[in-house]
Amino acid sequence: MFRIISRETLGTKIHLFKIEAPAVARKALAGQFVVIRIDERGERIPLTIADWDEKDGNVTVIFLEAGATTFRLGLLKAGDSIADFVGPLGVPSHIDKFGTVVCVAGGVGAASIAPIARALKDKGNEVISILGSRSKSLLFWEDKLRSVSHQLIVTTDDGTYGRKGVVTEPLKELLESGEKVDRVIAIGPTIMMKFCALTTQPFGVKTIVSLNPIMVDGTGMCGCCRVSVGGVTKFACVDGPDFDGHQVDWDLLSARQRTYLDEEKRSFEHWQAQVGKRC
């Protein structure tokens, strides 16, 4: 069992859990994820390793309550335990001295981009980060991202904080400004990553995205996380999750993400009713 050492609510339905998992903390690298299971009958879901402390043996994950499992996870308290916490999984993000790198985070993508920005800055890159969310209540880790960036631009769709608008607007302006951008890394909702890739394509700037298809085992065995990149089938859990955004078949990814919408809705309603009965 894996103990929740502490928990914090970062925004509307967004929670941070620090989990006791020394073996994962020892090996974790930026860009990797874990597959968790609340109990032995629970479903497996992937969550990005947002931070880790090798010395204290703990790993930080941040999640948005999106459906049944994340809703159930959000009900757990510090001191509770979860059954499985498997990782680190996936290929770590490619960290090198690229020059100027723009790191774009949308929503809970901030949890994934922060360790990558930190690793890029440590490697000597000039890091410009763009942090965006739908509204102020969904924005978190502004300070953390600022501390690992040379420049930070914050946007909200509704203008409740920072600049009003979506992340692709300052991204396009940076590219048009003549500033030499050597690489863009975009992590967030599928639609946001797709539009970041479409924004950078005319400028020929390599754009890495972290794909989020449905995953089950996370070890390349079930085929559930199949994506198409450059016309070649890849398994996001073992070949990724980072891929060249200009090569991704976005329509296929979006369609596959919607495969179980009816079942997910029924499961969410079931668990909400269970909690309602207990209250």
Ligand X SMILES: Cc1cc2nc3c(=O)[nH]c(=O)nc-3n(C[C@H](O)[C@H](O)[C@H](O)COP(=O)(O)OP(=O)(O)OC[C@H]3O[C@@H](n4cnc5c(N)ncnc54)[C@H](O)[C@@H]3O)c2cc1C
Residues that bind ligand X (CB under 6 A): 33, 44-48, 62-64, 66-70, 108, 111, 212-215, 241, 257, 261, 264, 268
- Output DSSP code: residue 138: G
Rg (CA), the chain: 18
Least distance to ligand X, CB of residue 37, Å: 10
Residue 33 lies near ligand FES (rule: CB under 6 A): no
Q: Is 91 in the site for ligand FES (CB under 6 A)?
A: no
Establish if 79 lies at the interface with ligand FES (CB under 6 A). no
CA pair distance 197, 110, nearest whole angstrom:
18
Distance CA 68, CA 89 (A): 23
- In the three-class reduction of DSSP (H, G, I as helix; E, B as strand; rest coil), residue 234 is classed as strand
Q: Is 216 in the site for ligand FES (CB under 6 A)?
A: yes
Instruction: Report the relative pairing of strands 151-156 and 126-133 from DSSP bridges.
Output: parallel
8 A C-beta contact, residue 248 and residue 209: yes
Please, what is the minimum distance in Å from the beta carbon of residue 43 to ligand FES?
Answer: 12
Q: For residue 217, state whether it binds ligand FES (rule: CB under 6 A).
A: yes
The three-state secondary structure class of 230 is: coil
CA 7 from chain centre, in angstroms, equals: 18
Q: Which does 221 bind (CB under 5 to 8 A by kind): ligand FES, ligand X, none?
A: ligand FES
DSSP string of 217-228, one letter each residue? SSSSSS-TTEEE
Residue 31: contacted member of ligand FES, ligand X, none (CB under 5 to 8 Å, by partner type): none
> Residue 222's binding partner, choosing from ligand FES, ligand X, none, with beta-carbon cut-off 5 to 8 A by kind?
ligand FES
Q: How far is the CB of 136 from ligand X (least distance, A)?
A: 18
Contact positions toward ligand FES, by CB under 6 A? Answer: 215-218, 220-225, 235, 237
